[in-house]
Amino acid sequence: NTEQRIAIKGYLMRRISVMQGKTPQSYRILLTNLYEMFPETLNRAQLKRIKDYATIVLDFWQHEKFIKGYKLVKKKGKDHAIDIDP
């Protein structure tokens, strides 16, 4: 685990926990919000690595029944957001 990976897991955990709470919350996580956590990562390969790791974490959480599922949302042919099914 690197600091970057811990930060990604923490962000996803906080957002999903709020979604599962009583207060209404959007089930969409914008990828730009994930990318903004790491202003030093500006090249395409590093941004792809962040998105890929987020999907690995979500796959694991889906397998462990923490979430029901998720779906990548595209906008203009590019991945834009992640819709969570808590």
pLDDT tens-digit series, residues 22-46:
777 788 899 988 888 888 767 888 8
When pLDDT is averaged across residues 48-64 and rounded to a whole number, the result is: 93
DSSP letter string, 34-76: HHHT-TT--SHHHHHHHHHHHHHHHHHHHHTTSSSEEEEEEET
Q: Within 10 Å of residue 19's Cβ, how many Cβ atoms?
A: 18
When pLDDT is averaged across residues 8-35 and rounded to a whole number, the result is: 87
Determine if the pTM surpasses 0.75. yes
Cα–Cα distance between 52 and 30 in angstroms, integer? 14
pLDDT bin (cut points 50, 70, 90) of residue 8 is very high
Of 6, 58, 9, 54, give the one whose Cα is nearest residue 31: 54
